[in-house]
Structure formats: C-alpha cells, structure tokens
Structure 1
Amino acid sequence: MMEITPINDKLKTLINNPEIADVKFLVGRNKIEMYGHKTILAISSIMWKNMFFTGNWYEVSQKHQDISQVVISDMEPKAFLAILRFSYLRDIELDPEITPEILYAADKFDMQELKQICLKSIVKTFTTRTALQTLEKAIKFKQQELIGTAIHYIERKSKTIFSRDKLFDKISEQTIQFILQSDNLFISEQRLFQLLVSRGKYLCVKRKIKPTPKNIKKLLGNLPKFIRLELLGLSGLKEIYNSQMYDLEMVFKRCLEIAEKYENQIGSNSEKSRKMLVAREKLSVDDINVLVLVSETREQYKRDVIKSIKHQGISQVTSMNVARRIPTLEEIKDYDSIFVFSCDPFKDPVQMGNVLADYVEMNRGLVICSIFALENGEFSRNLKGRIVNDSFLPIMKGRVISHQESQIGDVEISEHPIMKEVTSFNGGKFSYRIDATNVQTGSTVIARYEDGNVLIAENRKEDDFGTVVVLNLWPISDEISTNGNYWLTSTDGAMIIANTVRYASTV
C-alpha cells in the first residue's frame, strides 16, 4: 500500500520557495527577498485576498520578471516568515524576542487567531526583567492592547521593577512618558526622579560630555515635566532643589499652589481629595492586621502566600501553624481578617471549623483559600465543625479538579471591591479548584472560571455576622513552580488575594 504524504508536509515545502511562487516580497529595510503563493495566502486572510484579487492590488505591487513584487518595509524578515508559516500551516513557533513584531504583522494582515496566540504568549512570558522591553516594542508597533497589558503588569510589579537602578537608561523617551503618566505605580515620585537623573547621566557619558545639571536637563528633554511635584515629600523637594534642573521660582510657586489646595481640601471626603492626598505616597501604609492560619510544611509556600497578601501594601501579617495547634477564639478575635490556607491535615478539623465560625459571628471577615479543606471525603485536611454544618461556606464541598488549565471567565459583579484592577487570572497548568458551579442559598458568585466553576464567592450569613469569602484556587504562584504549574504571576492572582483580604477586613 502506497504511503500518502500528509498535506502539511507538502505545504511546508512551499514556504518561501521561489520555484513555483507567484509573488515576491521585499521585506525590511534591507529588502530581503521572500516568496509566496497568492491563492494559499488569500485563503488564510481576507487582507491577503483583498490585496491580491481586488483592484487595489496595483497600488501595492508591480510585475517584475513575470512575478508580482510587493515591498513590505515595516516588518522584519523573521516576523514575516512566521506570518508565512502560519498562513500555510496554521502553525507558529514563537520566539519571545520577536513575538511583539509577529503580533504587529498579525494585526496588519488581520489574522485574528494568530493575534490572540501572540497576546497569550506574551502575557505568559512576562517577567519583571522583560516588561519594559515589551512595552517599548508595543509602543513601537502601536499595539494598544499590548500597551495596556504591559502597563498594567508594570504597575502591579512596580515595587520590584523600579527597585533596579539605571532602569530608564536605555529605553526610549516615549516609553518613559507612558510610565510617568501612570497613576497606579506603587513607588514614590522621588524614586522616579532619581531614575530620570540616572538616565541623564548615562546620556551624558554616551555623548562624551560632562554630566552637569544643565547638560542632564537638556538631554532629558520634556521628561522632568512629568514628575508630579505635588507628590514629592520634603526629602523629594530637597532633592529637586539640589538637582538644579528645575526653575526654582516655578518650584516655589508650585509648592504654594499645593499648600493652598491641600488647605482647601483637607478634611474633605471627596474621592478627588482622597486620591490627591494619598496617591503614590501611600505605598505600604495600612493598619489592617491579618492572620494567616496555615497547615503546610513547605516554608516557601507560606512565604509566597504572604507575599501575595502584602501585594497592595498590607504590612501587618501574622501566621500560625494549625497543623500543630488550633488557636482559641481569644487568640484570634482581634485580627481584622483571617486567611486560611492548607494542604496538610489540621490538628483538629472540627475544632478548626468551630473556632472559625465563632470568629465570623463576632463580625469578622474570613477568607478560605484552601481547596483541600473543601474537598469531598473524610480526610483530616477537610474543614469540619460549625463552619461547614451551619452553612457558613458559600460553596458546597466537592471533588478537586486539577491538571486542566483554566482562567477567569465571567465576572458577575465587576464593581465588587475584590475585582478592583483585576483584568486576568490563569491558574496555570494544574489550576487546582473545587468542582462547584453553584453556591449555597444566600451566597453570591463574584467571578467564575471559563469552564463555569466558581472562582470567587461570598456569604454574609446575617447582617451582624462577618463575611466568608472562598477563593476557589491554589494560592501558590509560578514563582515557586517555574514550569507554569501554578497560577501565573503575569495575571492578577496576587491582586485577587490582596483585595479579598482587604475586603474581608472592612465588612
């Protein structure tokens, strides 16, 4: 019996093959020759079809030695070759270095499927080291969706990203402007000014001129204007004064304006006043006192969870090991909220459930982020006692789903405080969660996974009781599991955890 060659193997031989091609592309600044076939390309994209088979074709091509010729000057050859490969095979091999360029090309040729593949790949590979470079490329290729995603990631990770010196030295002025105009960076305005001065000194050295205040100011162009003087504290204003980069009369006038504005608005409860007074200078100030009840032998897991809780500035976080001993109500009653995380057995599951119910009845907020505590079956790691029997939990116990990657789907209450600044969540390759699509009577679904299972749900049993929020997720991030098994830090898992703990402490 004759073996039949798969069609994709045959198509693969046609990619960039000049032998029977009917169109030649001159790609990039150096006009590298690349070849294609009009009919195959037209099938893969309406843009190709319009280009090759409408009256507009002659606007973009010319005949040259019996082959149509198209100049594509705004694309690198590697990115264009990836476009050809996807057009012929519906297959793509993404190199993180050129994925933003492939995204630009996919957008240009209206290849929506490839565009979504590129966006997902970029989000998955975001790191604090590459975020600024990704933003730079997104701005270069005018990819608004990617610009927004990159800025959001930089805002969430700003404390880590902006802790590095010389951060602004080698990126473009336009990219820095995007960053400086953000209202959600969790760093001080003084730190941004210091990074600008570092950039100015670097540019002076590069141009072999002395790094005087005058030269630094000249090479920074308009960037110093984006520093918000009203957000500088006393030490920041001193640094501005000593830099000799600002007109001192202008700085003094601005300080008077700030003082007058604050005097007029201090004591006001308006949102505008609140934002002005706290803005970026409220970096890690918070009087919420959080208790983490943890049953987990791996110390790095506990540290990872606490890091997420502290993501939005909560600084007072205490942990107790409930595998060894269950605390009394007297020991926990003064905490503003409690976060329960466990993988190992509780010392006493019934006593654990009883003390948590007592705590909620004192009008305190409880967050349960422990899928194994909510698992069906008779295990010592399951929560028992009144917290289960008296219907405090918003979802029923169920089987654990794993090894089925899932991300956030429908957000049923988008204005809920827990969803503030949350735009994405991916549980990673494992995506541990309880199989629960419904909530108990009186409970509320806040968000679901894309498969319909509950991601976040809340139960306020009675008006004078606290709230119980279940985060139906495994709270360990991919910073612990670098192979992407756990929730992806390129998404908003830390924001969800921090927002939930903060919310539970205020209800």
Structure 2
Amino acid sequence: MASETEGNYSSKLFLTNNHRRRESFDLPLTFLNSAIEDSEHSLPFNWQAKISGVVRRFSFLFNKETLSDVHFIVGIEPNTQTIPAHKFILSIGSAVFDAMFNGPMANKNDVFTITDMEPKVFMALLKYLYSDEVVMEADMTMALLYAAKKYALPMLDKICQDFFHKSMTKDNVFQLLTQARMFDEPHLAATVLDAIINNASVSFNAPGFASVDYETLCVIIERDTPDISECDRFVALCKWATAECSRQKCKVTPENVCRVLGKVLHSLKFDEIDKEEFSTKILLSEVLDDHVFVEILTTLLRRQSKDSTGKH
C-alpha cells in the first residue's frame, strides 16, 4: 500500500505531466513547421486542412514524395525519369495496378521499371488517376491511348479516341496514321486512311506525306485514289523518294529513287500518264531536276516493259 507521501508525490507528478501536455497542445501549429520543412520532400504541417475535398487532396499528392510508397523508373536510358506514386490511389483507379500491388501474384517491390512508354506519357496517365484531368498533346495521343488500354482505363481510352478524331488535320494525318499502325489500332488506322484516300488530291500534297515510313507509304499507295491522277501520284512519290534519300544520306539519282521506292513503283500505272500532263506537272516541277525525272521515267517504263514480257 502506497504511503501518503508517495501518493502526494504521484499526484503532483500526474498534475505536472498534465500541465506539460496542456502546454504542448496550446502551442501554435507553426511550432512544427520548421522541423517538418527541413525534410527535402515533405509538405508543410497540416497541409490537409488547407485543401478541401478528397479529389483535390489526391491531386495535390500527384508527383510528390509525400506519403509515396512506390516509384516508377520510366523510359529508356539515358532518358529515364523516376516518378513517385501512391499504391492506394493507383489501385482504386486501375484494376491492373490493383493486381500489381494487391493481387495473389502481386509484386512486393516498391520500384518498377517501365520501358514501353515515355515519361511524359506515364505522367499524363498518373495525372488522370490522381485528378481525372487529361493532359493531351497531339503527338502523344496514341501513346496515351496505348497506356489507357494497358492499365484498363476505359474512360481515358474514349477520351483519347475522341481527341484523335477531333485533332485530325491535313497537316498531321500521316503522322496519326503512322502512330495508329505503330500502336496496333487497326480501327483508327482505317479511319485515317479513308480520310487520306477520300482527300487524296490534298493529302498527297501535304508536307507530312514525305515523312511517312515506307510501310505506311505502301499502305497508302496500294489504295485506289480516284480523285488524283497517276501523274500526281508519281510526283508525290518522287517527293517522298527525295526526302528518303536525304534520310538515308545518299544522292538523289534515278537508281537511288527507284531503290528507295521499291515495290511501290509496281502500283503506278504509267500508261495512264498523259504526255501533256507529264510535261506540265513533272518536267516543270521542282521536285527533281528535269533530266533526273526523264531518266527515272525511262528506267521505270523499261522495267515495266521487262516485267510484262516476263509474265507472257
């Protein structure tokens, strides 16, 4: 049994500690600010009280180390970026992330490497998961659409597809076609290709035509283009061949033009090129020198003649 002296001492100690507790609670919140702000990645104390709404608080944490429990190393060396994130926020937005972090086959790592997309695309994906906001640029539409499909985000998928259709112009139509084929989106690729073919007279003269890759060029040329003459198709192909020779760092010669065009030449119907049209559109154009055009056409006609003889 505790003595009266001991009891008095305990009571005094209890009162003293209580008084200290009250003093500590009476201190202003700024008491902790300086200590907390000394941390490199921390936010000011009580930041939560200054931001109303769950969505706004989630959005505030986007790309911040505060409370982050996972990091993504995105891109291919040397252009990689380490991005902090929060497993809970990603898991409630994407079934794929949920399976990655919480499923029966979950990877317990806190660092993941992503090499199939650029950092800015992955950042746009996370921005959507944190805030429902979509940061879209014309040159990353297809890449973000790929990311939306990969991480099972149907609403973002639809937003990307809508943006894709709305952003299509004669200046970027070939870039969009190349991207649609690159990311294996046959429906979108077919839509763009139809737009190109239906406006061939404009499309074939657009700056982007000369910059498409060879396989995309083949896809375009193999389609019938009723509103553009065979002569105009030939001129457009020569523009592409000139650009391709430059990309391959070789001289523009009849041989090199024929080489880079390859099988595309077999789709041209040279017998449909009118002599007058040839002289006005080809010889007077500034795509290639006159003599080069003549040599190319002569070479092609000779080759076509040999192919026809060989078939018989």
On the 8 A contact 1:128/1:157 being kept in 2, the answer is: no
Q: 2-side partners of 1:256 and 1:222: how far apart?
A: 17
**1:52–1:128 Cα change, 3 Å:** same
Counterparts of 1:416-427 in structure 2 under 5 Å?
Answer: none
Equivalent position of 1:84 in the other structure: 126
Equivalent position of 1:113 in the other structure: 155
**1:198–1:249 Cα change, 3 Å:** closer
Deviations 1:53-84 (A, max 9, x none): 234444xxx73xxxx11111111111111111
Question: Alignment RMSD, CA only?
Answer: 3.2
Deviations 1:389-448 (A, max 9, x none): xxxxxxxxxxxxxxxxxxxxxxxxxxxxxxxxxxxxxxxxxxxxxxxxxxxxxxxxxxxx
Q: Partner letter of residue 15 of structure 1?
A: F
Q: Partner letter of residue 239 of structure 2?
A: S
Q: Partner letter of residue 33 of structure 1?
A: T
Q: Deviation of residue 145 (structure 1)? A: 2.5
Match of 2:235 among 181, 186, 194: 194
Does residue 251 of the first structure (1) align with residue 305 of the second (2)?
yes
On the 8 A contact 2:121/2:143 being kept in 1, the answer is: yes
Counterparts of 1:45-60 in structure 2 under 5 Å?
Answer: 45-58=94-107
Q: Deviation of residue 32 (structure 1)? A: 0.9
Q: Partner letter of residue 42 of structure 1?
A: S
Deviations 1:249-307 (A, max 9, x none): 543654998xx9xxxxxxxxxxxxxxxxxxxxxxxxxxxxxxxxxxxxxxxxxxxxxxx
Q: Partner letter of residue 183 of structure 2?
A: F
Q: Deviation of residue 143 (structure 1)? A: 2.0
Q: Deviation of residue 207 (structure 1)? A: 4.6
Equivalent position of 2:92 in the other structure: 43
Equivalent position of 2:265 in the other structure: 224
Deviations 1:116-172 (A, max 9, x none): 1111112112111111111122222222222122112222322222234x6533221
Counterparts of 1:61-72 in structure 2 under 5 Å?
Answer: 63=109, 68-72=110-114
Q: Deviation of residue 27 (structure 1)? A: 1.0
Q: 2-side partners of 1:3 and 1:35: how far apart?
A: 22
Q: Deviation of residue 231 (structure 1)? A: 7.9
The alignment partner of 1:25 has SS state of: strand
Q: Deviation of residue 36 (structure 1)? A: 1.7
Counterparts of 1:105-254 in structure 2 under 5 Å?
Answer: 105-164=147-206, 167-184=208-225, 186-225=227-266, 227-229=267-269, 232-235=272-275, 242-243=295-296, 244-246=298-300, 248=302, 250-251=304-305, 253-254=307-308
Q: 2-side partners of 1:198 and 1:121: how far apart?
A: 30
Counterparts of 1:241-390 in structure 2 under 5 Å?
Answer: 242-243=295-296, 244-246=298-300, 248=302, 250-251=304-305, 253-254=307-308
On the 8 A contact 1:189/1:231 being kept in 2, the answer is: no
Q: Partner letter of residue 210 of structure 1?
A: K
On the 8 A contact 2:203/2:209 being kept in 1, the answer is: no
Q: Partner letter of residue 6 of structure 1?
A: G
Q: 2-side partners of 1:28 and 1:3: how far apart?
A: 35
Equivalent position of 2:52 in the other structure: 5
Q: Partner letter of residue 137 of structure 1?
A: Q
Q: Deviation of residue 95 (structure 1)? A: 2.0
Match of 1:34 among 83, 97, 101: 83
Deviations 1:8-49 (A, max 9, x none): 210012212223222211111222111222222122122222
Q: 2-side partners of 1:191 and 1:28: how far apart?
A: 42
On the 8 A contact 1:230/1:255 being kept in 2, the answer is: no
Q: Partner letter of residue 229 of structure 2?
A: S
**1:55–1:241 Cα change, 3 Å:** farther
Equivalent position of 2:285 in the other structure: none
Aligned length: 248
Deviations 1:172-209 (A, max 9, x none): 11221221122356322332222222222233345553
**1:231–1:54 Cα change, 3 Å:** farther
Higher helix proportion, which one? 2
Does residue 97 of the first structure (1) align with residue 139 of the second (2)?
yes
Q: Partner letter of residue 46 of structure 1?
A: A
Counterparts of 1:382-461 in structure 2 under 5 Å?
Answer: none
Q: 1-side partners of 2:255 and 2:83: how far apart?
A: 50
User: Percent identity at matched positions?
Assistant: 25
Higher strand proportion, which one? 1
Q: 1-side partners of 2:187 and 2:62: how far apart?
A: 30
**1:231–1:48 Cα change, 3 Å:** farther
Q: 1-side partners of 2:258 and 2:59: how far apart?
A: 55
TM-score by length of 1: 0.44
Q: 2-side partners of 1:216 and 1:84: how far apart?
A: 46
